[in-house]
Amino acid sequence: MTDTEAAPSRAAWALQAPVLTEYYDTEWGMPVRDERGVFERLTLEAFQSGLSWLTILRKRENFRAAFQGFDLATIAEYSDADIERLLADEGIIRNRAKIEATISNAKAVLALNAAGESLSELVWSHTPALSPVPETDAEVPTTSPESEALAKALKKRGFRFVGPTTMYALMSAIGVVDVHLVSSHRRGCSGLWNIDGTPVKSSASV
């Protein structure tokens, strides 16, 4: 590192474990728009509710295996036997309510698709006009008017475990908003937001 190069600046949570640092540096805040990818993130954020993201991240591959790669059609057809299988799987979070919500949410996504809508489009339609510009971890929002509206829209369509805080975490994780600290080397990494929180005009319409 030269004298003119600054050390990477990260959120405090990203320094708690190497797997979190890697996630922060390579994935968090990068755009996710495919239906299965958004559903996976929504599911993991729901399982994270009341727990640490580190716990979920360490079990992520186990979740993918347990839920057949988050294939929507497969999960929507899960039976009571599948629920019992998941409750016996020590590799994931064995919470009946969250498992049942995942199945219900898969059905809700398929219902959206049948109506000519998509989960991805619905989530991204709640992109704000401006993104936050936090200078400290304490200034990073946990909810927003857009996350509250998204939570309401999803609940109206039958989704569960989609409260405003969980939805803001989802929006932050997939690039709908950029809540990296202004000083972070990852600020603006999505290509959708400028450092000052204004949208990048040349980006695809969201």
- Catalytic annotation, residues: 23, 45, 53
Q: DSSP class of residue 92?
A: S
Q: Got the DSSP string for 106-130?
A: HHHHHHHHHTT--HHHHHHTT--SS
Q: What is the C-alpha to C-alpha distance for residues 61 and 82, in angstroms, rounded to an integer?
A: 18
Strand locations in the chain, DSSP E? none
Q: Which residue has the tokens 């809540």?
A: 179
Full DSSP string of 130-195: S----SSGGGS-S--HHHHHHHHHHHHTT--S--HHHHHHHHHHTTSS--S-TT-TTTTTTSSB-T
